[in-house]
Amino acid sequence: MIGSGVFVGMLGVAYFADIHHLAYYIVIQIFVGVFESTGWPGVVAVMGNWFGKKNRGLLMGVWNSHTSVGNILGTAVPSLFAKKCDPWGWAFLIPGFVMIFVGCVIFFFLVLDPDDVGLPSPQHHEVREPRPQKNGMSYKKESDLTADTNIRTSGKLSIENDTNENSPLIDKSPDTEKSKGKAVGLLRALTVPGVVEFAVSLFFAKMVAYTFLFWLPYYVAYNRIGGRYIGEQKADLLATLYDIGGIIGGITTGALSDVINARAISCVIMLYCAVPTLFMYRYFGVKSVGASIALIIFCGLFINGPYALITTAVSSDLGTHESLRENQKAKATVTAIIDGMGSLGAAFGPLVTGFVSDYFGWDSAFYVLMGSCFISSLMLSRLVVGEARYFYRKFKTQTKNQVYAPRIASKESTMM
């Protein structure tokens, strides 16, 4: 944060130092990107330390709303200084000073882990109930009652140590030595099931998200809405509605993933909804200001929803994988891989959109965005199948419970 503040401030210094060399701004922007890119893996790792798997999607969705609030303030505050103050350099210096100050506060007061203040660590994984014991050894019922049960204590069947082909891929863990203090290498982090799929999916999701973030004000200002141009000031105001939709989308997608206990399926649902929403915005958003407002909000909801879930709850889930438990460095590494791939998409998306819109028109640019959403969802197909198999097995187990539970209870009472 301090490094980001220093280099953002140096953009403002260029005004007062009368620097007009393009190379200066390129170099400073590169260093701004280097320092700012280190932030997200760190903050997600800290949040992962404090919040367990239960309700993580909703909690992370609420927390992630700060990114949209930051986008709004990041547009409004510098714009205010640039208009009210003759020296536009203050539009960079003031945010730079704020970043440096907050960075110092964080350094002295942020508690990285509950253990540091004597609090219990959250539960990152589901607790498996042990099989019933008999004479010190585990046993199973007769062949027609082979499903492992805890009838005496819970009255219902438990899923038998979810097999590889039937449990959600995001919950699988290879048998590796747990290392609390060791740093997890890049190649080891890539072997965690789901990391590669979510990273590639985020590339395309963030490609669309950042295209909207950078191009939406221009698109709204220079395309007729209701038969007339609304002007740059109103265009900026309408563009902020995309971030408002993003806040709603992040919370909604996170809550949905908690309710159905399926991160990949939740992302795919939102991405599928984003495709027709983008189509409707291109062809019906120009009809009236009201239609444009509604569709911009829905675009933010469906595009930012999965993007927010992947960069927060999903990254934290994978970073607290059972084989990487209690390893803060693992959380940061996994998050860095996923978000780093997304950052490539964030850089690539606006560039492609500018090229396509100039040479082929905005219709083609929107088709590229719709295709990106579809490809993003397609990258999660294997994980979706894994989650679907898990739910199917769970349904079968519950059905067996209803059929066999009375028989088991009767047999046990006879044996006693």
Q: Which residue has 């221009």 as its token pair?
A: 218
Given a contact cutoff of 8 angstroms between Cβ atoms, the answer to whether 373 and 211 are in contact is no
Domains in the chain: boundaries: 2-114+184-379, 389-416
d(CA 243, CA 249): 9
Q: Which residue has 């709303």 as its token pair?
A: 65
d(CA 173, CA 89): 51
Model confidence band, residue 202 (pLDDT cutoffs 50, 70, 90): very high
Q: State the pLDDT at residue 158.
A: 39
397/362: higher pLDDT = 362
Q: What is the mean pLDDT of residues 372-400?
A: 87
Which class for 40: exposed (0-12), middle (13-18), buried (19 or more C-beta within 10 A)? buried
2-114+184-379 folds as: Growth Hormone; Chain: A; (1.20.1250)
Report, in angstroms and rounded to the nearest whole number, the Rg of the chain calculated over CA atoms: 25
Model confidence band, residue 367 (pLDDT cutoffs 50, 70, 90): very high
Q: State the pLDDT at residue 320.
A: 63
Q: Which residues of 60-72 are buried (b: 16+ CB within 10 A; e: fewer)?
A: bbebbbebbeebb
277/185: higher pLDDT = 277
Q: State the pLDDT at residue 174.
A: 42
Q: Which residue has 């200066």 as its token pair?
A: 24
Q: State the pLDDT at residue 395.
A: 79
Q: To 5 degrees, how large is the angle CA 363–CA 364–CA 365? A: 90
What is the sign, positive or negative, of the torsion defined by CA atoms of 197, 199, 205, 207?
Answer: negative
Q: State the pLDDT at residue 414.
A: 58
Q: State the pLDDT at residue 402.
A: 67
Q: State the pLDDT at residue 86.
A: 64
Q: State the pLDDT at residue 160.
A: 39
Q: State the pLDDT at residue 184.
A: 66
d(CA 17, CA 155): 76
Q: State the pLDDT at residue 409.
A: 56
Other CB atoms within 10 A of residue 23 CB: 7
The alpha helices in 155-288, defined as continuous H runs, are 186-190, 195-221, 232-260, 263-284
The alpha helices in 310-380, defined as continuous H runs, are 315-319, 328-360, 362-378
- Among the residue ranges 48-52, 204-208, 295-299, 316-320, the one predicted with the least confidence is 316-320
Q: What is the mean pLDDT of residues 83-89?
A: 70
d(CA 209, CA 161): 39
Q: What is the mean pLDDT of residues 30-48?
A: 88
d(CA 278, CA 366): 7
Q: Is pLDDT at 179 greater than 70 in this prediction?
A: no
Other CB atoms within 10 A of residue 323 CB: 18
Considering 217-226, 290-299, 306-315, the range whose residues carry the highest mean pLDDT is 290-299
d(CA 355, CA 369): 13
Which residues lie closer than 8 Å to 343 by C-beta, 6 or more apart? 37, 206
**Structure tokens of 239?**
């563009």
Model confidence band, residue 394 (pLDDT cutoffs 50, 70, 90): confident
Q: What is the mean pLDDT of residues 205-212?
A: 92
Residues recorded for the chain: 416
Model confidence band, residue 323 (pLDDT cutoffs 50, 70, 90): low
Considering 75-84, 115-124, 357-366, the range whose residues carry the highest mean pLDDT is 357-366
- Among the residue ranges 77-86, 226-235, 245-254, the one predicted with the least confidence is 77-86
Q: State the pLDDT at residue 317.
A: 77
- Among the residue ranges 7-11, 41-45, 270-274, 298-302, the one predicted with the least confidence is 41-45
d(CA 105, CA 116): 18
Model confidence band, residue 166 (pLDDT cutoffs 50, 70, 90): very low
- Among the residue ranges 115-129, 241-255, 327-341, the one predicted with the least confidence is 115-129
Main-chain dihedrals φ then ψ at residue 211, nearest 5 degrees: -60, -45
- Among the residue ranges 156-160, 163-167, 304-308, 347-351, the one predicted with the least confidence is 156-160
Q: Is pLDDT at 100 greater than 90 in this prediction?
A: yes
Q: Is pLDDT at 403 greater than 80 in this prediction?
A: no
Q: Which residue has 């203090």 as its token pair?
A: 181
Q: State the pLDDT at residue 132.
A: 47
- Half-sphere exposure in the Cβ direction for 215 (13 Å, CA): 25
pTM of the model: 0.75
d(CA 266, CA 313): 12
Report the share of the chain in percent with pLDDT over 90. Answer: 36
